[in-house]
């Protein structure tokens, strides 16, 4: 049976002879004898592709909750958006899939230009002049934004709205152990950040402010207030913005954000159990020399033809080493290419339409739930654009379990995001009973109607 | 075999290689046949745009069509739509297809880019990644409804631990650099838990740039240790910089010169003696699969690049995956939640998934106070190990499915390790990349993985000896999966630099090797052929290099080299101008 290794036995023998060796073991003569693995790895023997594929198909089939079996109302940063055949076909082209980082621009214009177009679209979405070539996911983009903000302001104190996605805040905490940034969580009051008027006793003024737009509970934050607060302290504003809602909302850059980050999965990437996703990162020109990761710029070749190349390379780890702005090397280029294709497919009118349809569906859901005995809104009556949090009579995890039996992935239990004890975004009781529900442009009126009917039952004791 | 014997007696017998591979009749691996219809620039999507054109088609929903004005308050509402391109689907497809034709890739030809392990990416892995049961699962799906995914992740973790000789692993890090930083934070947490404040991490001067950058972000200072004349860590120099303030050392083994650090046991002993930890940069793991394991060498923390060693496609710069495996004494520090096989095939009846340990300090609920999450960790006993099985009573899996054939209780759940450093990814890592890697590992198995290492090392050594007359070989002893050659003599003699050689190789229809790395080699050409290139391809590559060097010494050679490449979609690009006059978006064009 074949594997992916082309050498015939005769060729191996010939090559070994060319090296003056008589066995492949001798290739490893520099590995101390005592360290060499006797008896080989304790793994099964190799199996033919069809057998392995069958195993993986079995595993895939065991995911009962997948979005082609249950109607997906779950969001929390991962959304069931349309990924059309054209985008799948183009993003799946092996020239994009099997290329390496574009270190040789003369033979990498395809990826470089696609990323240049991606950067342009992300910058326009964010309302800022520069966007990078991507980061790992929304959380990693936020970490990098906070690193940039603290470096730019020279102040490592970071006020983070509790309305920022709980997992992203968790990742921020993890990496702050290394950077030493002081993270201060600013709680929500009725779904929106209760920014303090002044630095409390013993507190420190912020160098960076971080807010969500909309925040993870679906509420629209007052970004003008964030900008004013930042200006009062000489701080930078980082906004974690939903790039789909940006099709409907004033851009975060327009509100005065210095850095806008986001999760780009919604543009051309399937739910994928959480990855690979796409970290979006845009900033002001003033901060471009602190930009993390790769940046593609336009230039010309020897003959004056337009060409693209990774630029401002002196920021990057392979040149600047321990003084680099970031350690990011491999990013999520293929997802960035997919996003460029998806945004090209949507175009000006399509993005606006998707954003509007999400808002309509979410609004329709909220209207439909009015008067339900077991379900009420968690956050008052602020506008909703793609997601809303509700409070269910029974614990939300129970609701999700029950709803799966009715054919729905009902949403994400807040306790799965913030823990049973709640956090600055919701108190413990709301954490247990809070359910985050997302409605994308793929949800039909019929699905929403059936969902509401099922939820009214599932949410009650 | 004595050191240096490799190839010595066969050196005069070069024809043997050529005959055996009949390369004259069947040159392999070159992409010079790729048809390129022209050399014009492709317009951007924005230039192809015509107002009013569109591609999008969305599902009919029947949802009431309220205008935006009724949904979003005026102060939040966008007044103008985000201006994107407006193109037909036909133009969109043509545009990105043309761009794809302007892109080199593994599927097109050989990609001997050192340190990047650009091996063939099996297509079966694409099929796996597209399986609806994997691709369409939401990351917050309760564990009971995602048993296949949890089983897959656990199987992969177990395989990676066996391959590296470690106790447990986190699959969350999205790339190698993310793995490095995760590993350094684990190192930090380990020392902090022992009440130790260590400040320095040692890195060889041959290390990848991500290493020192990660060290800084991990809150440590870099101490560089030089390589000796053999290209390995200078033991005497290492002993000099070791001390009680050393948190650990980051090593790539084989190192970036493609050489195995033969003194690794002594290095491990010396570092452990001062209480430091050993971090293994898995960039070069491909060389040692099934031959020797980082855990057996004495490493405490190991990251792997699944997009290198385990053939997940690199995507033009990602996605990768950088799982981190650790020795027993670090398991309780791993990021969480982790997928686990439940001990009794079942667990508590709850559906918790993303349940995080509580932060050390929350902001004051009444207003910001101090929340300092740096180095010293939370009181480490306050979070118990949590087992979250997520049993949905009405959605028990049908009996007989793979994950838990025994009945209704799921076999897999999530845990947050007792002293977890916390989450390092929005969700569970680059899951579809992980699925591809598991597929690759299962197809190869123990025997196949070992063969991968053997052929990778065989190919690299064959090229080392084959190209010995052509380039400098700064460390001419048996290498592992890659060989570092140098164009130093060529530059002195003919004025042709490593960069020129790289550009000339593009004209020959091959991707270029890595150049100017490692930094300690003058005019470095770092060549990693990988195991999936045939001997014919290697011979064709060697002949291409020979033609380049021969042409360099012919009249006008330096000029021709500096003018290369001439056959590519664009010629040498003006990088200085790109940096000087920054045009990062279409809107910034002059």
B71-80 confidence digits (pLDDT tens): 999 999 999 9
The listed range with the strongest mean pLDDT (A3-7, A128-132, B19-23, B474-478) is A128-132
**Chain B nearest CA to A58, separation (Å):** 6
pLDDT, residue B388, reads: 36
List, in order, residues 6 or more apart from B251 with CB less than 8 Å away: B204, B233, B261, B264, B267, B278, B279, B280, B281, B299
- Residue range B206-219: average pLDDT? 93
Which residue from B20, B93, B391 is facing A14, i.e. has the nearest CB?
Answer: B20
**Domain A71-84+347-458: assigned CATH number:** 3.90.1150.10
The 10 Å Cβ neighbour count of residue A54 is: 11
Residues in B touching A45 (Cβ below 8 Å): 445-448
Which residue from A106, A138, A444 is facing B426, i.e. has the nearest CB?
Answer: A138
Residues in A touching B586 (Cβ below 8 Å): 116-117, 120
Cβ B208 vs Cβ B283: under 8 Å: yes
Q: Give B321's strand partners.
A: none
Stated as kind and residue range, the H or E segment containing B387 is: strand B386-388
Residues in A touching B260 (Cβ below 8 Å): 28, 30-31
Does the pLDDT of residue B18 top 70, yes or no?
A: no
pLDDT, residue A383, reads: 83
Cβ A374 vs Cβ A398: under 8 Å: no
Stated as kind and residue range, the H or E segment containing A377 is: strand A375-377
**Domain A86-341: assigned CATH number:** 3.40.640.10
Interface test with A, best of B38, B74, B97, B136 (most A CBs within 10 A): B136
Which residue from B394, B462, B517 is facing A18, i.e. has the nearest CB?
Answer: B462
Max Cα distance, chain B (Å): 84
The 10 Å Cβ neighbour count of residue B402 is: 18
Angle (nearest 5°) at CA A412 between A410 and A414: 135
Cβ B221 vs Cβ B214: under 8 Å: no
Domain with CATH 3.40.640.10 in chain B: 165-336
What is the rounded distance in angstroms from the CA atom of residue A252 to the CA atom of residue A127?
6
Stated as kind and residue range, the H or E segment containing A281 is: strand A279-283
Angle (nearest 5°) at CA B288 between B283 and B293: 95
Sign (positive or negative) of CA dihedral A429, A239, A75, A263? negative
Stated as kind and residue range, the H or E segment containing A260 is: strand A259-263
Taking an 8 Å cut-off on Cβ atoms, the answer to whether A15 and B319 are in contact is no
- Per-residue DSSP letter, A314: G
Does the pLDDT of residue B382 top 90, yes or no?
A: no
Cβ B404 vs Cβ B397: under 8 Å: yes
Looking at the complex, does the CB of residue B80 fall below 8 Å from at least one CB of chain A?
no
Tell me whether strands B277-282 and B246-252 are parallel, antiparallel or unpaired: parallel
Does the pLDDT of residue A434 top 50, yes or no?
A: yes
Sign (positive or negative) of CA dihedral B428, B429, B435, B438? negative
pLDDT, residue B294, reads: 98
What is the rounded distance in angstroms from the CA atom of residue A197 to the CA atom of residue A294?
38
**Chain B nearest CA to A448, separation (Å):** 9
**Chain B nearest CA to A236, separation (Å):** 17
Domain with CATH 3.90.1150.10 in chain B: 14-37+450-580
Task: Give percent above pLDDT 70 in chain B.
Answer: 83
A139-143, B16-20, B239-243, B270-274: the lowest-pLDDT one: B16-20
Instruction: Give tens-digit pLDDT for A58-101.
Output: 999 999 999 999 999 999 999 999 999 999 999 999 999 999 99
Does the pLDDT of residue B38 top 80, yes or no?
A: no
The 10 Å Cβ neighbour count of residue B396 is: 18
- Model confidence at A334, pLDDT cuts 50, 70, 90, reads very high
What is the rounded distance in angstroms from the CA atom of residue B519 to the CA atom of residue A321?
11
> Is it true that the peptide bond before A276 is cis, omega within 30 degrees of 0?
yes
List, in order, residues 6 or more apart from A178 with CB less than 8 Å away: B181, B184, B185, B188, B217, B218, B219
- Model confidence at B356, pLDDT cuts 50, 70, 90, reads very low
Residues in A touching B232 (Cβ below 8 Å): none
Residues in A touching B389 (Cβ below 8 Å): none
Among B535, B212, B82, residue whose Cα is nearest residue A246: B82
Q: Where do the domains of chain A lie?
A: 71-84+347-458, 86-341
What is the rounded distance in angstroms from the CA atom of residue A281 to the CA atom of residue A142?
8
Instruction: Give tens-digit pLDDT for A106-117.
Output: 999 999 999 999
**Domain B165-336: assigned CATH number:** 3.40.640.10
Residue with tokens 């190209």: B467
Does the pLDDT of residue B402 top 80, yes or no?
A: no
- Model confidence at B394, pLDDT cuts 50, 70, 90, reads very low
Give the CA radius of gyration of chain B.
27
pLDDT, residue B386, reads: 31
Interface test with A, best of B22, B49, B133, B197 (most A CBs within 10 A): B133
Taking an 8 Å cut-off on Cβ atoms, the answer to whether B20 and A11 are in contact is yes
Looking at the complex, does the CB of residue B476 fall below 8 Å from at least one CB of chain A?
no
The 10 Å Cβ neighbour count of residue B93 is: 19
Which residue from B175, B184, B458 is facing A27, i.e. has the nearest CB?
Answer: B458
Cα B580 to its chain centre, rounded Å, is 30
Which residue from A32, A110, A361 is facing B265, i.e. has the nearest CB?
Answer: A32
What is the rounded distance in angstroms from the CA atom of residue B244 to the CA atom of residue B275?
7
Does the pLDDT of residue B393 top 60, yes or no?
A: no
- Residue burial B106-143, b: 16+ Cβ < 10 Å; e: rest: bbbbbbbbbbbbbbbbbebbbebbebebbbbbbbbbbb
What is the rounded distance in angstroms from the CA atom of residue B465 to the CA atom of residue B162?
33
First-to-last CA distance in chain A? 59
pLDDT, residue A322, reads: 82
Does the pLDDT of residue B403 top 70, yes or no?
A: no
State both tokens at A458. Answer: 């599932």
Among B151, B155, B172, B173, residue whose Cα is nearest residue B163: B155
Instruction: Give tens-digit pLDDT for A304-315.
Output: 999 999 999 888
Residue with tokens 């057998």: A51
Q: Which fold has domain B14-37+450-580?
A: 3.90.1150
Instruction: State phi, psi for B388 to the nearest 5 degrees.
Output: -125, 105
- For the packed helices B431-466 and B14-21, what is the interaxial angle rounded to 10 degrees? 130
Interface test with A, best of B32, B73, B91, B138 (most A CBs within 10 A): B138
What is the rounded distance in angstroms from the CA atom of residue B482 to the CA atom of residue B460?
5
pLDDT, residue A203, reads: 81
Does the pLDDT of residue A461 top 70, yes or no?
A: yes
Task: Tell me the H-state helices in B511-585.
Answer: 535-553, 557-563, 575-580
pLDDT, residue A319, reads: 80
Q: C-alpha dihedral over A325, A326, A330, A334, to 10 degrees?
A: -80
Taking an 8 Å cut-off on Cβ atoms, the answer to whether A171 and B265 are in contact is no
What is the rounded distance in angstroms from the CA atom of residue A237 to the CA atom of residue A259?
6
- Residue range A200-214: average pLDDT? 90
Does the pLDDT of residue B3 top 80, yes or no?
A: no
Taking an 8 Å cut-off on Cβ atoms, the answer to whether B72 and A114 are in contact is no
CA distances from B582 to A101, A302, A303, A312 (A): 20, 18, 19, 8
A259-273, B347-361, B534-548: the lowest-pLDDT one: B347-361
Does the pLDDT of residue B33 top 70, yes or no?
A: no
Instruction: State phi, psi for A350 to the nearest 5 degrees.
Output: -70, -40
Taking an 8 Å cut-off on Cβ atoms, the answer to whether B428 and A104 are in contact is no
List, in order, residues 6 or more apart from A70 with CB less than 8 Å away: A64, A404, A407, A408, A409, B145
A246-260, A304-318, B475-489: the lowest-pLDDT one: A304-318
Which residue from B122, B145, B461 is facing A404, i.e. has the nearest CB?
Answer: B145
pLDDT, residue B274, reads: 98
- Residue range A148-164: average pLDDT? 97
- Residue burial B352-377, b: 16+ Cβ < 10 Å; e: rest: bbbbbbbbbbbbbeebbbebbbbbbb
pLDDT, residue B10, reads: 44
Instruction: Give tens-digit pLDDT for A5-55.
Output: 999 999 999 999 999 999 999 999 999 999 999 999 999 999 999 999 999
Among B144, B178, B98, residue whose Cα is nearest residue B433: B178
Does the pLDDT of residue B535 top 60, yes or no?
A: yes
The 10 Å Cβ neighbour count of residue A34 is: 9
Cβ B261 vs Cβ B248: under 8 Å: no
Average pLDDT score, chain B:
87
Instruction: Give tens-digit pLDDT for A349-386.
Output: 999 999 999 999 999 999 999 989 899 999 876 788 99
Residues in B touching A359 (Cβ below 8 Å): 68, 71-72
Taking an 8 Å cut-off on Cβ atoms, the answer to whether A247 and B81 are in contact is yes
Taking an 8 Å cut-off on Cβ atoms, the answer to whether B121 and A92 are in contact is no
Among B258, B290, B250, residue whose Cα is nearest residue B117: B258
- Model confidence at A200, pLDDT cuts 50, 70, 90, reads confident
What is the rounded distance in angstroms from the CA atom of residue B188 to the CA atom of residue B183?
9
Instruction: State phi, psi for A266 to the nearest 5 degrees.
Output: -60, -20
Residues in B touching A147 (Cβ below 8 Å): 217
What is the rounded distance in angstroms from the CA atom of residue A435 to the CA atom of residue A456?
13
Which residue from A46, A176, A383 is facing B443, i.e. has the nearest CB?
Answer: A46
């Amino acid at each position: 049976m074949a594997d992916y290794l082309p050498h015939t036995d005769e060729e191996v023998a010939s090559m070994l002879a060319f090296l003056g060796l008589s066995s492949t073991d001798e290739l490893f003569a520099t590995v101390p004898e005592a360290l060499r693995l006797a008896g080989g790895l304790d793994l099964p023997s190799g199996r033919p592709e069809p057998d392995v594929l069958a195993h993986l198909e079995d595993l895939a089939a065991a995911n009962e909750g997948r979005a082609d079996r249950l109607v997906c109302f779950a969001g929390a940063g991962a959304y069931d958006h349309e990924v059309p055949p054209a985008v799948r076909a183009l993003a799946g082209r092996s020239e994009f899939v099997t290329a390496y980082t574009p270190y040789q621009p003369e033979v990498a214009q395809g990826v470089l230009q696609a990323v240049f177009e991606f950067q342009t679209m992300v910058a326009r979405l964010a309302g800022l002049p520069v966007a990078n070539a991507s980061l790992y996911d929304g959380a990693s983009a936020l970490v990098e934004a906070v690193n940039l903000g603290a470096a730019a302001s020279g102040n490592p104190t970071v006020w983070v709205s509790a309305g920022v996605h709980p997992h992203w805040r968790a990742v921020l905490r993890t990496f702050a152990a290394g950077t030493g940034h002081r993270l201060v969580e600013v709680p929500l009051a009725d779904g929106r950040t209760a920014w303090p008027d002044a630095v409390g006793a013993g507190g420190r003024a912020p160098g960076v402010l971080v807010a969500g737009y909309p925040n993870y509970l679906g509420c629209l934050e007052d970004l003008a207030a964030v900008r004013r607060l930042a200006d009062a302290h000489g701080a930078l504003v980082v906004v974690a913005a939903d790039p789909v809602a940006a099709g409907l909302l004033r851009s975060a850059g327009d509100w005065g954000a210095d850095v806008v980050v986001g999760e780009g999965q919604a543009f051309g990437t399937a739910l994928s159990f959480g990855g690979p996703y796409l970290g979006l990162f845009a900033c002001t020109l003033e901060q471009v020399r602190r930009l993390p990761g790769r940046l593609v710029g336009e230039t010309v070749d020897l003959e004056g033809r337009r060409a693209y190349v990774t630029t401002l390379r002196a920021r990057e780890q392979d040149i600047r080493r321990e003084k680099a702005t970031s350690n990011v090397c491999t990013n999520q280029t293929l997802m960035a290419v997919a996003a460029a294709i998806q945004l090209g497919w949507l175009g000006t009118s399509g993005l606006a339409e998707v954003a509007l349809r999400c808002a309509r569906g979410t609004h329709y859901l909220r209207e439909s739930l009015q008067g339900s005995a077991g379900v009420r809104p968690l956050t008052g009556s602020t506008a909703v654009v793609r997601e809303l949090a509700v409070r269910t009579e029974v614990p939300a995890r129970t609701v999700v379990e029950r709803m799966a039996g009715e054919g729905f992935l009902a949403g994400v239990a807040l306790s799965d995001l913030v823990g049973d004890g709640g956090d600055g975004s919701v108190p413990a009781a709301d954490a247990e009973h809070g359910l985050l529900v997302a409605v994308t442009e793929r949800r039909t009126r019929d699905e929403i109607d059936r969902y509401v009917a099922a939820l009214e039952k599932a949410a009650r004791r | 075999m004595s050191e240096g014997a490799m190839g010595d007696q066969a050196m005069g017998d070069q024809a043997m290689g050529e005959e055996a591979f009949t390369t004259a009749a069947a040159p392999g691996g070159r992409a010079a046949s790729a048809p390129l219809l022209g050399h014009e620039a492709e317009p951007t999507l924005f230039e192809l745009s015509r107002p009013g054109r569109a591609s999008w088609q969305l599902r009919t929903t029947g949802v009431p069509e309220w205008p935006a004005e009724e949904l979003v308050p005026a102060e939040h509402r966008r007044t103008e739509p985000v201006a994107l391109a407006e193109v037909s689907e036909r133009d969109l497809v043509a545009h990105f297809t043309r761009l794809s034709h302007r892109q080199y890739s593994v599927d097109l030809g050989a990609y001997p880019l050192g340190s990047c392990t650009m091996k063939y990416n099996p297509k079966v892995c694409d099929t796996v990644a597209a399986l609806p049961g994997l691709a369409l699962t939401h990351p917050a799906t309760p564990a009971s409804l995602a048993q296949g995914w949890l089983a897959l992740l656990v199987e992969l973790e177990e395989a990676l631990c066996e391959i590296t000789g470690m106790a447990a692993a986190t699959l969350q890090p999205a790339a190698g650099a993310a793995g490095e930083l995760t590993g350094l934070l684990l190192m930090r947490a380990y020392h902090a838990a022992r009440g130790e404040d260590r400040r320095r991490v040692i890195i060889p001067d041959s290390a990848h740039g991500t290493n020192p950058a990660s060290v800084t972000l991990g809150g440590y200072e870099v101490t560089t240790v030089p390589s000796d004349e053999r290209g390995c860590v200078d033991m005497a120099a290492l002993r000099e910089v070791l001390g009680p303030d050393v948190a650990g050392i980051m090593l790539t083994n084989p190192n970036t010169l493609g050489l195995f650090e033969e003194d690794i046991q002594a290095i491990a002993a010396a570092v452990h003696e001062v209480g430091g930890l050993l971090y293994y940069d898995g960039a070069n793991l491909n060389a040692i699969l099934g031959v020797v394991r980082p855990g057996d060498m004495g490493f405490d923390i190991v990251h792997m690049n699944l997009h290198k060693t385990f053939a997940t496609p690199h995507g033009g710069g990602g996605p990768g995956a950088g799982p981190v495996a650790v020795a027993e004494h670090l398991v309780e520090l791993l990021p969480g939640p982790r997928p686990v096989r439940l001990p009794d095939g079942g667990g508590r009846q709850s559906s918790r998934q993303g349940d995080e340990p509580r932060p050390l300090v929350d902001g004051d609920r009444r207003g910001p106070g101090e929340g300092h999450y740096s180095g010293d960790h939370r009181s480490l006993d306050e979070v118990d190990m949590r087992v979250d099985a997520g049993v949905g009573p009405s959605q028990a899996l049908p009996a007989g499915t793979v994950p838990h054939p025994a009945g209704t209780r799921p076999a897999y759940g999530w845990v947050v390790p007792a002293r977890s450093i916390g989450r390092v990814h929005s969700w569970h890592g680059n899951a579809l990349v992980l699925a591809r890697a598991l597929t690759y590992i299962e197809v190869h198995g123990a025997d196949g993985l070992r063969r991968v290492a053997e052929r990778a090392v065989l190919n690299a050594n064959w090229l080392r000896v084959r190209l010995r007359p052509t380039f400098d070989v700064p460390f001419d002893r048996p290498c592992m999966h890659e060989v570092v050659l140098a164009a130093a003599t060529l530059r002195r003699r003919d004025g042709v630099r490593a960069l020129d050689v790289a550009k000339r190789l593009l004209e020959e229809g091959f991707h270029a090797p890595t150049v100017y790395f490692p930094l300690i080699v003058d005019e470095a050409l770092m060549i990693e052929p990988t195991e999936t290139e045939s001997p014919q391809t290697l011979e064709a590559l060697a002949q291409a290099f020979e033609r380049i060097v021969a042409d360099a010494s012919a009249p006008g050679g330096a000029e021709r080299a500096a003018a290369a490449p001439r056959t590519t979609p664009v010629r040498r690009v003006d990088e200085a101008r790109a940096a000087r006059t920054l045009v990062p978006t279409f809107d910034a064009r002059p």
